[in-house]
């Protein structure tokens, strides 16, 4: 690691102020950031730990019935804390290993927007709202490609609000080494339509598969998406799978997600 300053504020205001310093970065669970610091791939002037900011941690419900998860809430807390949204709980319960789940946070995951991460699929498929210290961002406007988001420098994710679908499921096909998603598909059926979000597959990061959404809106069965496919072009090709393979898996995982959502 390169040398950096460290602050551990106890309120959101203090955190925001601490982040005014040039090249300062928030530190969530550190499950992504600390390995990149160790590799000397990041050189922040200051790390501002959000771990002591209680106001952005925890799970509650708002008047619209949405689940509101504080940006500093760990994966383990989400896994145990959203019984009315089993697909989301299961997703959180299957991220990494216990150590990762006890440290890693939903805010950190969404801020990082790894193209193979799980939470982006949940947020996009649920039509979640990402709340920061300055504004509310609809998931549809938030994800801007691999590791790119609508967040400004120093902006903190304070909360993520999830509408609860009637039916939902996240089907993840694991990359054998990292066990991140080689392809992960989150389907969510609401009264007014179906949303399908795909992670792990595209060079543009998480995306909505609108063709599948349309087909499922009228017929929420695996058969409805049987003949559909995404083009291989634009899919990630690496050691673990070709663009063709990933495109194929998008279809398979979508059908399985719909079948499992019931």
Partner 1 sequence: MPKDHGIGAASKRREDVRFLTGTGNYTDDINLPRQLYVHFLRSDVAHGEIRHIDTGAAEAMPGVKRVFTGKDFEGVGGLPCGWQVTDRHGQPMQEPAHPVIAQGKVRYVGEILAAVVADSRERARDAAEAIEFDIAELPAVVDMKAALAPDAPKVHDDLDGNLCYDWGFVEENRETVDAAIREAAHVTTLELVNNRLVANPMEPRVAVGDYSRADDQSTLYTTSQNPHVIRLLMGAFVLGIPEHKLRVVAPDVGGGFGSKIFHYAEEAFCTFAARQLGRPVKWTSTRSEAFMSDAHGRDHVTKIELALDADNNFTALRTETHANMGAYLSTFAPSVPTWLHGTLMAGNYKTPNIYVNVKAVFTNTVPVDAYRGAGRPEATFQLERVIDKAARELGVDPIALRRQNFVTEFPYATPVAVEYDTGDYNATMDKLEEIADIKGFAARRKESEARGKLRGLGVNAYIEACGIAPSNLVGQLGARAGLYDAATVRVNATGSISVMVGAHSHGQGHETAFPQVISEMLGIGEDQVEIVHGDTSKIPFGMGTYGSRSLAVCGSAMVRATEKVVAKAKKIAAHLLEAAEADIELRDGKFTVAGTDKEVAWGDVTLAAYVPHNYPLEDVEPGLEETAFYDPANFTYPAGAYACEVEVDPETGKVTIERFAAADDFGNVINPMIVDGQVHGGLAQGIGQALLENCAYDENGQLVSASYMDYAMPRADDVPFYTVDHSCQTPCTHNPLGVKGCGEAGAIGSPPTIVNAVIDALHSGGHKVDHIDMPLTPSRVWAAMQG
Ligand X SMILES: Cc1cc2nc3c(=O)[nH]c(=O)nc-3n(C[C@H](O)[C@H](O)[C@H](O)COP(=O)(O)OP(=O)(O)OC[C@H]3O[C@@H](n4cnc5c(N)ncnc54)[C@H](O)[C@@H]3O)c2cc1C
DSSP letter assigned to residue 114: -
Stretch that binds ligand X, among 76-84, 100-108, 218-226, 236-244 (CB under 6 A): 100-108
Does residue 24 belong to the site contacting ligand X (CB under 6 A)? no
Does residue 70 belong to the site contacting ligand X (CB under 6 A)? no
Torsion of CA 224, 195, 95, 248, to 10 degrees: 40
Six token digits for residue 254: 């979508």
Q: Which does 206 bind (CB under 5 to 8 A by kind): partner 1, ligand X, none?
A: none
Q: Who contacts 157 (Cβ-Cβ below 8 Å, separation ≥6)?
A: 56, 71, 106, 107, 110, 111, 130, 131, 132, 151
DSSP letter assigned to residue 96: S
Does residue 78 belong to the site contacting ligand X (CB under 6 A)? no
Nearer to partner 1, 167 or 179 (CB): 179
Residues contacting ligand X: total by CB under 6 A: 31
Structural element, H or E, at residue 109? helix 106-112
Q: Who contacts 49 (Cβ-Cβ below 8 Å, separation ≥6)?
A: 6, 7, 8, 9, 26, 27
As a whole number of angstroms, the distance between CA 202 and CA 75 comes to 24
Interface positions, 173-212, toward partner 1 (CB under 8 A)? 173, 176-178, 182
Q: Which does 239 bind (CB under 5 to 8 A by kind): partner 1, ligand X, none?
A: partner 1
Find tokens 């205001």 and name the residue: 13
Does residue 252 belong to the site contacting partner 1 (CB under 8 A)? yes
Stretch that binds partner 1, among 134-142, 169-177, 215-223, 225-233 (CB under 8 A): 169-177
Is 234 exposed, middle or buried (CB count within 10 Å of its CB: 0-12, 13-18, 19+)? Answer: middle
Does residue 29 belong to the site contacting ligand X (CB under 6 A)? yes
Residues making contact with partner 1 (CB under 8 A): 1-2, 39-40, 173, 176-178, 182, 239-242, 245, 248-249, 252
Residues making contact with ligand X (CB under 6 A): 25-33, 50, 71-72, 95-96, 100, 103-105, 107-109, 111-112, 114, 117-119, 156-157, 179-180
């Amino acid at each position: 690691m390169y040398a950096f300053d460290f602050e551990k504020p106890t309120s959101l205001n203090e955190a925001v102020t601490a982040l005014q310093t040039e090249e300062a970065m928030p530190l969530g669970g550190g499950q992504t950031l600390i390995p990149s610091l160790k590799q000397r791939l990041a050189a922040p002037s200051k790390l501002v730990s959000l771990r002591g900011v209680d106001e952005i941690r925890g799970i509650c419900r708002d008047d619209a019935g949405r689940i509101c998860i504080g940006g500093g809430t760990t994966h383990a807390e989400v896994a145990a804390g959203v019984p009315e949204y089993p697909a989301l709980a299961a997703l959180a319960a299957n991220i990494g290993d216990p150590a990762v789940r006890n440290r890693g946070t939903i805010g950190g995951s969404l801020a990082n927007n790894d193209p193979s991460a799980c939470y982006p699929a949940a947020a996009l498929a649920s039509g979640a709202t990402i709340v920061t210290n300055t504004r509310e961002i609809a998931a549809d406007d938030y994800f801007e490609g691999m590791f790119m988001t609508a967040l400004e420098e120093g902006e903190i994710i304070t909360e993520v609000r999830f509408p609860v679908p009637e039916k939902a499921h996240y089907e993840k096909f694991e990359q054998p080494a990292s066990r991140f998603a080689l392809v992960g598909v989150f389907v969510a059926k609401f009264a007014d339509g179906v949303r399908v979000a795909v992670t792990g597959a595209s060079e543009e990061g998480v995306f909505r598969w609108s063709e599948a959404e349309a087909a499922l809106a009228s017929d929420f069965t695996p058969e409805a998406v049987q003949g559909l496919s995404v083009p291989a072009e634009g899919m990630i090709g690496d050691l673990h799978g070709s663009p063709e393979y990933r495109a194929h898996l998008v279809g398979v995982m979508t059908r399985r997600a719909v079948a499992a959502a019931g």
